[in-house]
Structure 1
Amino acid sequence: MDIICNDRELFIFKKIAAAAADLGLPAYVVGGFVRDKLIGRPTKDVDVVCVGDGIALAHKVAERLRPQPQVNFFKNFGTAQLKLEDMELEFVGARKESYRSESRNPEVEPGTLEDDQWRRDFTINAMAVSLNGDDYGKLIDPFGGLRDIELQVIRTPREPGGTFSDDPLRMMRAVRFASQLGYAIEETTLEGIRTHADRIKIISQERITDELNKIILSQRPSVGFEYLYRTGLLERIFPQMVDLAGAEYIDGKGHKDNFTHTLQVLDNVAVHTKNLWLRWAAILHDIGKPATKRFEQGHGWTFHGHEVVGGKMVPRIFGRLKLPQHEEMRYVRKLVELHLRPISLTKENITDSAIRRLLFDAGEDLEDLMTLCKADITSKNKQKVKRYLDNFELVQERLKEVEDKDRIRNWQPPVTGEVIMDTFGLPPGKIVGDIKTAIREAILDGVIDNTYAAAYDLMLKIAKNHDLEPVPGRPIEGA
């Protein structure tokens, strides 16, 4: 299996090789760049290890490039970065590490290339390519990374317990690589994750969530979640999702396994979009089901109101996982709360009012909501799936018809709070909000037309019920 580099990469590597030779430092390209080239994956980040001073090598390389890039270096860590237009280079001296049990911050000392490869997380990330004159371009693969690429497995270079105990984030990385690459985690390595899963508690939530989001953004995120569940990691980092697992039976009546269903919905959404937050909505759309599960005699299992309960859980889950608490969280909560609405519109004799309300509530996120709703159809009965999808097509036609007629999406009532306050000399307050809400509801229910004149006329009528009169001398519009 060959490593095929483009002309630009070969040019850069020749510059690094020449700079390393000038300093008398053996240098190697290592890690992810080598792995990705071998599997045909695009990559622009290059890690260079030298046996010696990585910062000095970075400065020497920068001197040989035009225009000369700035060297960003971190003396405490012995690392340096060069950002080029099309590549990012990171330089570090070869090192060996030792860890204390309570920390993932290692004690570091200079080492050989072999030491550096030994400390790496997985065999597929421990390969190196020489940039040295006597064996330039040679693949150095002491742990069988090339073999594991061919076998499509994730394996640690050394005994898994040491790898994961030293740096527990590597357990999340193992799952992430399995999910991104479609590889299997080798059984001994998998058992090592199960054994050391509790060590994940010493990792910051931000770093855990960063890996979790990368799993969610993979082509088939269900692969990663299955591994997280099987190893016990999911129970420790996201227990609410584990609560979805399993099916219960009473009187021969059972409900579907909502964990498996959720993963199917997530994969279905992933086919159509790389939108991280829409994928999060897929993960959380049924998160309220465990809290609302009831068995009703003669009927079976119900989950009434799970969309409302789930919506209320979203801010807490986002807070615990250190996910954004503002626009992204509100978007996910909205989709969770609305995900049953389109299915209710597939019934006969649905009024324009119900259609208008969905248009208003979903607003600019209507297409994403419909993507989620279609992904939520996971029945193995192909005829049932076709019937649901056909019904959704009819709903989308109705939505388009009503929107073309009424222009409700992203709509604000034609009479604003400012108009109400100016007309009646009111300060901001509850009564202004009540009038504005009544106008909005009347338009959505089709009681009045979606026009300024109709809304203004209704405002005057509502105001009379509150014993309000227009400010003297102010002309009454339409009178």
Structure 2
Amino acid sequence: MTDLFRKIAPVADELGRLFADQGHELALVGGPVRDILLGRVGNDLDLTTDARPERVLELVRDWADSVWTIGIDFGTVGVRKGSWQIEITTYRSESYDPKSRKPEVMYGETLEADLERRDFAVNAMAVRLPGHEFVDPYGGLKDLGGRRLRTPGTPEQSFGDDPLRMLRAARFAAQLGFSVEPAVVEAMTAMAERIEIVSAERIRDELDKLICGVHPREGLRLLVDTGLAAHVLPELPKLRLEIDEHHRHKDVYEHTLTVLDQAIAQEEDGNADRVLRWAALLHDIGKPKTRRHEPGGRVSFHHHEVVGAQLTKKRMTELRFPKDVVADVSRLVELHLRFHGYGSGEWTDSAVRRYVRDAGHLLNRLHKLTRADCTTRNKRKAAALSRTYDQLEQRIARLADEEELAKIRPELDGNEIQRVLGVGPGPIVGKAYKHLLDLRLDKGVIGKEAATEALLDWARDNGVAAS
């Protein structure tokens, strides 16, 4: 640990001496200590101190490059020094009122007491500054070696103090690949309903970190098995549809987890693509509402992509995701079946253009989602689907070279339409623009002269007098 700690010691020790000279304690704590022991060093540091927030501000004001106080009501002062982002939090304990969405913060007096209120033992380790004394009163180092999650005290007390810790257990299972102690799982199951007092924003952040983890399948399984998912992402456990006795349709829940795995396998440069991952997770959530039992024992899910897009938009909006993320994920869910109309390559160039236009900036993600959605165990069928999609991508590439597909628009813009028709801005221009766009998609590039003639023909057919 000494060698790893040297990478951050200069800035941490400098701050530690500053606090010690003024009679205050300071320690590196929580996630950064855990990550150092795992061989991972980032630029974010969490520190804890006996100094109250107002005193922390006095101590760091002249030392830091910048200071922010957005978390000061919860005892946290933010600091930037060079490339380091540092949060300094006063020793504290916190708990929830049964009817409150916000924790009640009470300041503590000792480092050991502060560590006791931490979520898991692997996050309840500290290094005192500037002397580098390692503090581990709850066996976090042993848990780290065993790759397990256990609470410092009883899990019931820990989750009672902050119910969000139940989601953190699933998140750490996804991020670190750790197992969760049976007693912790039992408490999560018994107390799942209590998660409802936590704000949507805090739940969203944990779910987002989970889905972007290295092992999201493990975290999601834990949420479903403990009943937490029923409160924070109810569409997921609903995918565990009853399988008919002849197994004529897939287990949608298991299929979804496999699609997520296969989407992750296509990510580039090892960077998590949150939009692609959320789309993979939610792509079939419309199936429970659209399931129909057909003659002969068949099961259908007609228009589940449309219903799924609506449910996706609703759920992600309720979780307070940014509007652009909501729009992108729900659009991918809506489009994820479009390829299956391609058959054996019967689409016209017009249909290919519309596919590209409808996908827009999401085209590359749609490619990945569509490929990930093939989970058949029939190798011949899987190979055929893959070849067909290869052919579609080749056609898209060819048309893109010929026609700049990504920039498809009518060959006459709004100003030119107004000039040809002799009209000013208004609904007629919008209708004419749509007509020319449909023409562009159907016919490809026909040239401005032909587009002008087509516009005049449309105007005559629709009673628009061109001047």
Question: Does TM, scored on the shorter chain, surpass 0.5?
Answer: yes
- How many residues are paired up? 461
Amino acid corresponding to residue 259 of structure 1 in structure 2: Y
* C-alpha contact (below 8 Å) 2:411/2:440 kept by paired residues: no
Task: State how far apart, in whole Å, the 1-side matches of 2:29 and 2:264 are.
Answer: 31
Shift of 1:54: 5.9
Max radius of gyration: which structure? 1
Question: Hey, what does 2:302 align to over in structure 1?
Answer: 304
Question: Hey, what does 2:385 align to over in structure 1?
Answer: 388
Amino acid corresponding to residue 352 of structure 2 in structure 1: I
Question: Hey, what does 2:122 align to over in structure 1?
Answer: 124
Question: Hey, what does 2:262 align to over in structure 1?
Answer: 268
Task: State how far apart, in whole Å, the 1-side matches of 2:173 and 2:144 are.
Answer: 12
Could you give the per-residue CA deviations for residues 313-368 of structure 1, whole angstroms, max 9, x where no partner exists?
A: 3332222222223x333322322222122233241433222222212222332211
Question: Hey, what does 1:139 align to over in structure 2?
Answer: 134
* C-alpha contact (below 8 Å) 2:46/2:88 kept by paired residues: yes
Report 1:326-405 matches (<5 A).
Answer: 327-405=324-402
Moved more, 157-166 or 434-443: 434-443
Moved more, 41-50 or 70-79: 70-79
Could you give the per-residue CA deviations for residues 162-207 of structure 1, whole angstroms, max 9, x where no partner exists?
A: 1101111111111111110011111101111111111111111111
User: Helix, strand or coil for the counterpart of 1:80?
Assistant: strand
User: Helix, strand or coil for the counterpart of 2:465?
Assistant: coil
1:296 and 1:181, CA in 2 relative to 1: closer, same or farther beyond 3 A?
Answer: same
Task: State how far apart, in whole Å, the 2-side matches of 1:328 and 1:382 are.
Answer: 34
Amino acid corresponding to residue 11 of structure 1 in structure 2: P
Task: State how far apart, in whole Å, the 2-side matches of 1:125 and 1:230 are.
Answer: 24
Task: State how far apart, in whole Å, the 2-side matches of 1:406 and 1:283 are.
Answer: 34
Shift of 1:234: 0.9
Task: State how far apart, in whole Å, the 1-side matches of 2:236 and 2:59 are.
Answer: 51
User: Helix, strand or coil for the counterpart of 1:106?
Assistant: strand
Amino acid corresponding to residue 211 of structure 2 in structure 1: I
Moved more, 178-187 or 348-357: 348-357
User: Helix, strand or coil for the counterpart of 2:296?
Assistant: coil
Amino acid corresponding to residue 210 of structure 2 in structure 1: I
Task: State how far apart, in whole Å, the 2-side matches of 1:79 and 1:468 are.
Answer: 66
Could you give the per-residue CA deviations for residues 103-141 of structure 1, whole angstroms, max 9, x where no partner exists?
A: 342241332122111111100000011226xxx323211
Question: Hey, what does 1:474 align to over in structure 2?
Answer: none
1:211 and 1:451, CA in 2 relative to 1: closer, same or farther beyond 3 A?
Answer: same
Amino acid corresponding to residue 321 of structure 1 in structure 2: L
* C-alpha contact (below 8 Å) 1:70/1:82 kept by paired residues: yes
Report 1:433-452 matches (<5 A).
Answer: 433-446=430-443, 449-452=445-448
Shift of 1:43: 2.1
1:61 and 1:328, CA in 2 relative to 1: closer, same or farther beyond 3 A?
Answer: closer
1:239 aligns with 2:234: yes
Report 1:204-223 matches (<5 A).
Answer: 204-223=199-218
Moved more, 262-271 or 241-250: 241-250
Shift of 1:30: 1.2
1:243 and 1:162, CA in 2 relative to 1: closer, same or farther beyond 3 A?
Answer: same
User: Helix, strand or coil for the counterpart of 1:88?
Assistant: strand
Question: Hey, what does 2:8 align to over in structure 1?
Answer: 9
Task: State how far apart, in whole Å, the 1-side matches of 2:383 and 2:98 are.
Answer: 55
Amino acid corresponding to residue 275 of structure 1 in structure 2: D
Shift of 1:10: 1.7
Question: Hey, what does 2:464 align to over in structure 1?
Answer: 468
Question: Hey, what does 2:249 align to over in structure 1?
Answer: 255
Q: 1:280 aligns with which of 278, 281, 287?
A: 278
Amino acid corresponding to residue 470 of structure 1 in structure 2: A
Task: State how far apart, in whole Å, the 2-side matches of 1:440 and 1:14 are.
Answer: 64
1:245 and 1:425, CA in 2 relative to 1: closer, same or farther beyond 3 A?
Answer: same
* C-alpha contact (below 8 Å) 1:124/1:148 kept by paired residues: yes
Shift of 1:298: 3.1
User: Helix, strand or coil for the counterpart of 1:409?
Assistant: helix
Task: State how far apart, in whole Å, the 2-side matches of 1:93 and 1:445 are.
Answer: 65
User: Helix, strand or coil for the counterpart of 2:374?
Assistant: coil
What's the RMSD between the two structures over aligned residues? 2.4
1:97 and 1:309, CA in 2 relative to 1: closer, same or farther beyond 3 A?
Answer: closer
1:247 and 1:362, CA in 2 relative to 1: closer, same or farther beyond 3 A?
Answer: same
Shift of 1:423: 2.7
Question: Hey, what does 1:29 align to over in structure 2?
Answer: 28
* C-alpha contact (below 8 Å) 2:345/2:392 kept by paired residues: no
Task: State how far apart, in whole Å, the 2-side matches of 1:228 and 1:172 are.
Answer: 8
Task: State how far apart, in whole Å, the 1-side matches of 2:402 and 2:67 are.
Answer: 60
Task: State how far apart, in whole Å, the 1-side matches of 2:57 and 2:465 are.
Answer: 77
Moved more, 437-446 or 236-245: 437-446
1:456 aligns with 2:452: yes
Structure 2 unmatched ranges of 5 or more? none
1:108 aligns with 2:106: yes
Amino acid corresponding to residue 261 of structure 1 in structure 2: H
* C-alpha contact (below 8 Å) 1:15/1:61 kept by paired residues: no
Task: State how far apart, in whole Å, the 2-side matches of 1:408 and 1:80 are.
Answer: 50
Shift of 1:226: 0.9
Could you give the per-residue CA deviations for residues 446-478 of structure 1, whole angstroms, max 9, x where no partner exists?
A: 3x743222211111112222233321xxxxxxx
1:424 and 1:164, CA in 2 relative to 1: closer, same or farther beyond 3 A?
Answer: same
1:182 aligns with 2:181: no
* C-alpha contact (below 8 Å) 2:68/2:78 kept by paired residues: yes
TM-score w.r.t. length of structure 1: 0.89
Task: State how far apart, in whole Å, the 2-side matches of 1:410 and 1:72 are.
Answer: 43
Could you give the per-residue CA deviations for residues 287-315 of structure 1, whole angstroms, max 9, x where no partner exists?
A: 21112211221371111221222223333
Amino acid corresponding to residue 177 of structure 1 in structure 2: F
Task: State how far apart, in whole Å, the 2-side matches of 1:405 and 1:201 are.
Answer: 54
